[in-house]
Amino acid sequence: MIYNENFEYDEKFLEIMNEVLKEELKKEVNVGLVFVDRDEIEKLNKEYRRMEGPTDVLTFVYGDEDLYAEVFVCEEIVRENAEKFLSSFEDELLTVLIHAALHVAGYDHEYDTSKSEEMFRKQEYYLRKYKDN
């Protein structure tokens, strides 16, 4: 599901996200991908993470056997981060979508710090694998 008719994206981003999920989960998962504005991501961040301010991506995973996830992306923050990290918008979007896919697959860097290093190692692996493809 894509929200935000003004946001044009390349289908390759969804394909890459699906490839990461297939490789990590080895089972079907339904993912709703929603693009929201700064105000909406800030509200979600405060309500569900008790964090002030906007963020680039939020991932919510439901269920055990039948997995479903919602991924909320703020295009504006992704663009700001791309500028801050001297990266292209496409590379930064790829980073947040791979990051979200790893959260869907069960990796966590916030509440389970033991998996943090592994998560970021895998994120770098997938970025190298799919960047410029």
Name the binding residues for Zn(2+).
99, 103, 109
Task: Please state, in angstroms and as integers, the Cα–Cα distance from residue 38 to each residue in 17, 56, 72, following that order.
Answer: 23, 9, 11
Known binding positions: 99, 103, 109
What is the C-alpha separation between 56 and 75, in angstroms, rounded? Answer: 7
Spatial contact of 56 and 94, defined as CB atoms under 8 Å apart = no
Residue (of 110, 97, 28, 114) closest to 63 by Cα position = 28
79 Cβ contact partners less than 8 Å away, ≥ 6 residues apart: 89, 92
